Amino acid sequence: MAQKKPVNAGDSSLIQFSGLLLSSDSIYPVPFAFIHAKGKPYGTYSNLEGYFSFVARAGDTIQFNHVEFKKSLMVIPDTLKDQKYSVVKLLTKDTVYFEGAVIFAMPPRATFDHLFATKEIPNDDVQRAKYNLEREAMREQAGQMSGADASEAYRYMARNYAQKSYYAGGQIPPMNLMNPFAWAQFFEAWKRGDYKRKKTNYKKN
């Protein structure tokens, strides 16, 4: 949508909107909150320190969204004399209600033994391979994150989620030219001969 209407660099209504998101009860940074102009195709996410910055327009209604906090709105003043506007936004904690969970008592030992003995194990090699590969992938990821505590693991997953969300709107992600894992896969494929041209035998009539 941004490419349909090119932005005029001389547009006086364009401003650099920056700010810091903090929790109202503890004044801690609020990372990975979604900040966007309501009804407009532009916005961004806050980083680990709660900081954000993007180009908006004077008079835009800015909406702040985070799963742990209440939605909040603010309007950028349309009487700004400068093309920069910064805010410190306090977000209020919100309570998230989930559907009720029904807890059943454990079945008798005889029932458990019967269900365990009669459980169908898939004989499909593809399904077993998928299951094993999923476990192997989890081991590989755990090996790459060795030494990380729960907080670092959460930040790692949150960064990946934020990066996927950033490119979900159709923007082309950066090239993997400097990604060592991509180069390793390329060299392995080269050794296997995946890029060799296959010979075709033609029969004469």
Tens-digit pLDDT string for the chain (205 aa):
455 554 455 567 789 999 999 988 878 889 999 999 998 888 999 998 889 999 999 999 999 999 889 999 999 998 888 889 999 999 998 887 778 888 877 778 888 888 888 877 766 777 777 776 776 676 776 666 655 566 766 777 777 777 777 666 666 666 566 666 677 777 777 777 776 666 555 555 5
Determine, yes or no, domain membership for 29.
yes
Determine, yes or no, domain membership for 34.
yes
DSSP 8-class letter at 80: -
CB 63 within 8 Å of CB 73: yes
In terms of residue numbers, what domain contains 38? 14-91
Pairwise CA distance, residues 189 & 183, whole Å: 10
Question: Exposed, middle or buried, 35 (CB in 10 Å: 0-12/13-18/19+)?
Answer: buried
Domain CATH code at residue 21: 2.60.40.1120
Determine, yes or no, domain membership for 190.
no
Region for 196 from its dihedrals, namely left if φ exceeds 0, alpha if ψ lies in -120 to 50, beta otherwise: beta
Pairwise CA distance, residues 70 & 176, whole Å: 37
Number of domains observed in the structure of the chain: 1
Counting residues of the chain whose pLDDT is more than 70, the rounded percentage is 69
Q: How far is CA 118 from CA 22, 30, 89, 148, in A?
A: 55, 50, 58, 41
Buried b (16+ CB within 10 A) or exposed e, 38-55: eeeebbbbbbeebebebe
Determine, yes or no, domain membership for 55.
yes
Determine, yes or no, domain membership for 54.
yes
